[in-house]
Copies of this chain bind each other. A is one copy, B any other.
Amino acid sequence: MNKIYEPKPNTWAAILERPTKTVDDIELTVKEIFKEVQKKGDEAVAKYTSVFDGVLVENLEVSEQEIKSAVAAVPTQLKEAIQLAKSNIEKFHVAQKTAKIEVETVAGVQCWQEKRPIQKIGLYIPGGTAPLFSTVLMLAVPATIAGCKEIVLCSPPDKNGSINSAILYAAQLCGVTKILKVGGIQAIAGMTFGTQTIPKVYKIFGPGNQYVTVAKQLATQFGVAIDMPAGPSELLVMADATAVPAFVASDLLSQAEHGMDSQVILVSTSKKMMDAVEEEIQMQLELLPRKAIAEKAIANSKLIFVENDTIALDLINEYGPEHFIVCAANEAFYTNGIENAGSVFIGNYTPESAGDYASGTNHTLPTNGYAKNYSGVNLDSFMKSMTFQKISEKGIQNIGNAIEIMAEAEGLQAHKNAVTLRLKSLE
């Protein structure tokens, strides 16, 4: 752990710098596979599934029977936990529905805004050791609430050609319309171009390794939207003297176990707290099954002592953390003043894990400083806002002249004509 005391503001950028990766060599591979999937469809998908996942999948689409077996295989206790999480995520995202916004800006000029669902969306759920069924909930629940017609889920098959049961259980529970055994670059390419089996979608959501990340970026060049750019997961905890060191340490470690490149930062106005958290981390770390991973992330972590809350808040806003836990006497100062953060966790009994799984908020959040310019996934991520206007004869008479003058000043005569003709017809 790196302990830093009262760093000067002009050193913050360097201290808070995130590791950057070059992706040039990956890009070539991704482009190649995109080309081949575009050209050969399912044949190319099968080939790369065999290469990367080491399995020949006969039928890409998960069958009714497989879903039934998966539902039967998930322990009741886990089902109940997933159902509770689903219910909370539903409550929070249903509340995000917005009504039509209607304004008569001038008499006879009726303008309104409505949100309509993106018709076809794709969800990518990684496979491997950690089956992220929680991400299925976080994406499929709001997609269903939004009213997306096609919700396609891609996840890589294991060596037996299967997808983890909990993922399948969550998918059928949350309204996914098609589940496909395909992962990695070939899955993103498949959803970008469409193949015989994989539907082409308009927007792709979900996490993944660096191949998936680069593939999602490339997909945007072919007209597909993505949820947000991705980077390693991050947590910044602000803990003053009122925090509980053991809790803070457990939160930092829960971030650290994600990956060796996880970003873990503690900001404190108490040196005593900082030392106590450090000690707790060492103790708790020993007991973790993913100790090897967490240890590496912790070695790169930063414990930063600052003089007061104002400096702390400035530094946190400069960083723009994905997850921000605040355990401080003056918590309102932080919640009111935070400008850049994905999701904010307040108080001693609000661990990041709660938001990761079951409290109801979404866990797909902007990393890598993107909290400065991107929203986390929310109901609106699955919709687009459209505007409408209806102008009456009176209305065009009220604003027509202004339009004519502006169009003329911009040198766009035909724009002016479209109004002039209408005004003349009303004379």
Chain A contacts to B: CB under 8 angstroms: 77-78, 80-82, 84-85, 87-88, 91-92, 95-96, 98, 101-103, 105-106, 109, 111, 113, 116-119, 129-134, 166, 202-203, 220, 223-225, 229, 244, 246-247, 250-251, 253-254, 256-258, 284, 287-290, 294, 335, 338-362, 366, 368-376, 378, 380, 384-393, 395-396, 399, 401-403, 405-407, 409-419, 421-422, 425
Q: State A11–B346 Cα separation when bound (angstroms).
A: 56
In the complex with contacts A92-B111, A246-B421, A399-B359, A344-B290 CB distance below 8 A:
no
Query: Chain B residues with Cβ under 8 A from A250's Cβ?
Result: 414, 417-418, 421
Interface centre among A244, A368, A414 (most CB of B within 10 A): A414
Residue of B at shortest CB range from A416?
Answer: B353
Q: How many copies does the complex hold?
A: 2
Supply 5 further A-B pairs (C-beta < 8 A) apart from A106-B360, A111-B361, A113-B361.
A253-B418, A290-B411, A335-B388, A344-B388, A350-B391
Asked if A345 and B254 sit within 8 Å, CB to CB, the answer is no
A417 touches which one: B91, B254, B403 (CB < 8 A)?
A: B254
Asked if A81 and B343 sit within 8 Å, CB to CB, the answer is no
Q: State A220–B229 Cα separation when bound (angstroms).
A: 9
Asked if B84 and A399 sit within 8 Å, CB to CB, the answer is yes
Asked if A368 and B247 sit within 8 Å, CB to CB, the answer is no
Asked if A388 and B88 sit within 8 Å, CB to CB, the answer is no
Asked if A386 and B342 sit within 8 Å, CB to CB, the answer is yes
Query: Chain B residues with Cβ under 8 A from A418's Cβ?
Result: 247, 250-251, 253-254, 351-353
A349 touches which one: B361, B372, B395 (CB < 8 A)?
A: B395
Query: Chain B residues with Cβ under 8 A from A402's Cβ?
Result: 80-81, 84-85, 357-358
In the complex with contacts A224-B373, A351-B419, A359-B105 CB distance below 8 A:
yes
Asked if B378 and A380 sit within 8 Å, CB to CB, the answer is no
Asked if A116 and B360 sit within 8 Å, CB to CB, the answer is no
Asked if A410 and B359 sit within 8 Å, CB to CB, the answer is no
Can you sample 15 A-B contacts with CB below 8 Å? A78-B405, A91-B105, A95-B102, A95-B103, A106-B359, A109-B359, A117-B339, A131-B409, A225-B373, A288-B414, A346-B390, A350-B389, A371-B386, A373-B384, A380-B385
Query: Chain B residues with Cβ under 8 A from A88's Cβ?
Result: 105-106, 109, 111, 399
Asked if B378 and A257 sit within 8 Å, CB to CB, the answer is no
Q: State A342–B361 Cα separation when bound (angstroms).
A: 29
Asked if B257 and A355 sit within 8 Å, CB to CB, the answer is no
Asked if B406 and A85 sit within 8 Å, CB to CB, the answer is yes
Asked if B372 and A376 sit within 8 Å, CB to CB, the answer is no
Cβ of A326 to closest chain B Cβ, rounded Å:
10
Query: Chain B residues with Cβ under 8 A from A353's Cβ?
Result: 403, 407, 415-416, 418-419
Asked if A103 and B360 sit within 8 Å, CB to CB, the answer is yes
Cβ of A222 to closest chain B Cβ, rounded Å:
10
Q: State A203–B372 Cα separation when bound (angstroms).
A: 9
Asked if B374 and A384 sit within 8 Å, CB to CB, the answer is yes
Asked if B130 and A372 sit within 8 Å, CB to CB, the answer is no
Cβ of A70 to closest chain B Cβ, rounded Å:
13
